[in-house]
Structure 1
Amino acid sequence: MTTTSVRRHLLASPQRVYDALVSPAAIAAWRVPASMTSEVHEFEPREGGRIRVSLTYDTPDPAGKSSRHTDTYSGRFVRLDPPRLVVEEDEFESDDPAFLGVMRITFTLTEADGGTELVAVHEGCRPASPPRTTRRAGGSRSTGWPASSSRTRV
């Protein structure tokens, strides 16, 4: 298992960024890689609240973890401390043991330079899942905000 970290400066207040992290409509729009579409099945933004999301590849080439072209993960919110912190634990739904196991994602938000510094730490990433599919923040599944920009408007 590995740990990855992504850091982004966002041109929005910590409250606005926090709101985007706990909104099912916002999650469906931005927390998905460019090559996939998202469906939010369950999303209860409260401590202990459930999360279940499917990400489906736009093209038929890539193999999914949960079904032929889909990655579905489910989990729960562990801690919510508005507007500074969101901690969730997620696990891919898969028959392949290489993809199983809980990943903890800690989003820390700090006011900085007229916006928000977002740090997303992903603990427990599986070796079978390359970083582009487990780093659900920062231009991939972590935040979906462009990886090529260090200052992004929300």
Structure 2
Amino acid sequence: MAGAETARRIDQASRVIKATPEALYRAFLDPQSWLVWLPPAGMTAAIERFEPWQGGRYRLVLTYEGAGHTPGKASEHSDVVEARFLELVPNMRVVHRVEFPSDDPAFAGAMRMTWSLAPVPGGTEVTIACEDVPAGISPEDHAVGLASTLANLAALMERGLARRF
């Protein structure tokens, strides 16, 4: 049908983590903790800019370890993330506008990522919702990556490393 809007893609994942919303929120604003929990399995991260305030920007380079991965968005072995913090609600929510610089139009555009924290018995339910996901990002690979990131965050918080936050 001419003029019809295409459906916006939203990928989402959640996990209950044995930590308080306060400790998790602090981990969301600490660049050193990002290096531990944000890269999915098979990747490492380097932070080139990190301004953890509303309107602040960050630039993150995710690099694939070893062979056997899908090509990166910025180069064969890396994804670059250019982002801005849109909203910071202490102990409740962090919203980012994320772009992947790429020559491939399938990765063009901006994705909105919302991390939500909700206290539940036994910890905090952490939910990540990614809106307007570029078509070039495989839904299956994205689901695996989001689950891996949440597992990394749980491991960081539950191993007692959260005490530094």
The answer to whether TM tops 0.5 is yes
- Is the contact made by 1:4 and 1:135 (CA closer than 8 Å) also made in structure 2? no
Change (3 A) 1:34 1:135: closer
Higher radius of gyration, 1 or 2: 2
After superposition, what is the alpha-carbon deviation per residue over 1:57-100, rounded to whole angstroms, capped at 9, x for unaligned? 10134311101210001010000010101000100011111111
- Is the contact made by 2:13 and 2:143 (CA closer than 8 Å) also made in structure 1? no
Write 1 or 2 for the structure with the bigger share of strand.
Answer: 1
State percent identity of aligned pairs: 35
Q: Which runs of 5+ in 2 are unaligned?
A: 1-7
How far is the alpha carbon of 1:134 from its aligned partner?
7.6
**Partner residue in 1 for 2:147:** 138
Write 1 or 2 for the structure with the bigger share of helix.
Answer: 2
**Partner residue in 2 for 1:40:** 47
Change (3 A) 1:55 1:130: same
> What is the alpha-carbon distance in structure 1 between the residues aligned to residue 116 and residue 93 of structure 2?
5
Whichever residue aligns with residue 124 of structure 1, its letter is D
> What is the alpha-carbon distance in structure 2 between the residues aligned to residue 105 and residue 87 of structure 1?
6
How far is the alpha carbon of 1:29 from its aligned partner?
1.1
How far is the alpha carbon of 1:138 from its aligned partner?
2.9
TM-score, with length taken from structure 2: 0.82
How far is the alpha carbon of 1:133 from its aligned partner?
4.1
How far is the alpha carbon of 1:23 from its aligned partner?
1.0
> What is the alpha-carbon distance in structure 2 between the residues aligned to residue 41 and residue 8 of structure 1?
28
> What is the alpha-carbon distance in structure 1 between the residues aligned to residue 16 and residue 143 of structure 2?
21
TM-score, with length taken from structure 1: 0.87
Q: How does 1:27-106 map to 2 (within 5 A)?
A: 27-62=34-69, 63-106=71-114
**Partner residue in 2 for 1:5:** 12
- Is the contact made by 2:14 and 2:150 (CA closer than 8 Å) also made in structure 1? no
Give the alignment's Cα RMSD to 1 decimal. 2.0
Whichever residue aligns with residue 36 of structure 1, its letter is M
How far is the alpha carbon of 1:135 from its aligned partner?
7.4
Q: Which runs of 5+ in 1 are unaligned?
A: none
- Is the contact made by 2:112 and 2:130 (CA closer than 8 Å) also made in structure 1? yes
Q: How many residues get paired? A: 147
Do residues 19 (structure 1) and 26 (structure 2) align? yes
